[in-house]
Structure 1
Amino acid sequence: MTVLRSVSLFVLAAVAEIGGAWLVWQGLREHRGLLWIAAGVLALGAYGFVATFQPDPNFGRILAAYGGVFVAGSLAWGVVLDGFRPDRWDYAGAGICLLGVAVIMYAPRG
Structure 2
Amino acid sequence: MIQSILFFVLAGLLEIGGGYLVWLSLREGKSVWFAVAGFIVLGLYGVIPTLQPTNFGRTYAAYGGVFVVLSILWGWFVDRIKPDKFDILGGWVVLLGVLIVMYAPRNRM
Q: Which ranges of 4 or more aligned residues in structure 1 deviate by more than 3 Å?
A: none
Structure 1 unmatched ranges of 5 or more: none
Query: What's the TM-score, normalizing by structure 2?
Result: 0.96
Supply the AA of the counterpart residue of 1:77: W
Give the match for residue 103 of structure 1.
100
Deviations 1:15-70 (A, max 9, x none): 100111111101110111111101111111111000000111x1000000000000
Q: How many residues are treated as equivalent by the alignment? A: 107
Give the match for residue 34 of structure 2.
36
Q: For 1:17-32, what aligned pairs fall within 5 Å after superposition? A: 17-32=15-30
Tell me by how many angstroms 1:85 deviates.
1.1
Q: For 1:1-110, what aligned pairs fall within 5 Å after superposition? A: 3-56=1-54, 58-110=55-107
Q: Provide the secondary structure at the position in 1 that maps to 2:78.
A: helix
Query: What's the TM-score, normalizing by structure 1?
Result: 0.95
Separation (CA, whole Å) in 1 of partners of 2:87 and 2:45: 24
What is the aligned-residue identity percentage? 50
Separation (CA, whole Å) in 1 of partners of 2:34 and 2:81: 21
